[in-house]
């Protein structure tokens, strides 16, 4: 599985995990409300508490190094153009700072996929392809 697809899958699993934690919190809160005082819930052991002593494979170590960092605009470049798919729609946006692009890259999931990021000059001509 390519790194981008793996990251999307991981992000999806983390969102599911967060939803379950919210559900558990709601149940604990409801139990406390029934008792009229906070119930001293104890944290059950979780499978994630048991850490295996696997060594990182070189492929995984290199995957962390391939994380995309959006550089600042260089002389002659005036804007970033990002093309992304959200659901079935393709969107094109222009930004003058890299911050929104970094956020967009970090939030990719099955419904939001960055297709390309490039820099443009003052005439709108592409100068450099940064992603895609």
The domain locations on the chain are 3-64, 68-131
pLDDT at 57: 55
The neighbour count for residue 54, using CB atoms within 10 Å, is 7
Residue 80 neighbours by CB distance under 10 Å: 23
Q: What is the mean pLDDT of residues 99-105?
A: 85
**Residue 52: per-residue pLDDT:** 63
Does the pLDDT of residue 80 top 90, yes or no?
yes
- pTM comes to 0.49
DSSP strand E in 1-132: where?
A: 79-86, 89-95, 112-120, 126-131
For 122-132, b/e burial (b = at least 16 CB within 10 A) is eeeeeeeebee
Q: What is the pLDDT of residue 16?
A: 92
Res 60 pLDDT > 60: no
What value does the mean pLDDT of the chain take?
82
For residue 65, pLDDT beyond 60: no
């Amino acid at each position: 599985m390519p790194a981008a697809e793996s990251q999307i899958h991981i992000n999806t699993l983390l969102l599911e995990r967060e939803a379950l934690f919210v559900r558990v919190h709601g149940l604990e809160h409801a139990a406390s409300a029934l008792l009229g005082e906070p119930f001293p819930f104890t944290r059950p052991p979780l499978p994630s508490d048991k850490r295996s002593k696997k060594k990182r494979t070189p492929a995984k170590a290199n995957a962390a190094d391939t994380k995309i960092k959006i550089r600042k605009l260089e002389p002659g470049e005036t804007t970033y153009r990002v093309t992304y798919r959200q659901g079935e729609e393709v969107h094109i946006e222009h930004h003058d700072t890299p911050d929104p692009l970094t956020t967009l890259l970090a939030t990719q999931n099955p419904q939001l996929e960055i297709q390309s990021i490039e820099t443009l000059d003052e005439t709108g001509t592409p100068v450099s392809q940064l992603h895609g």
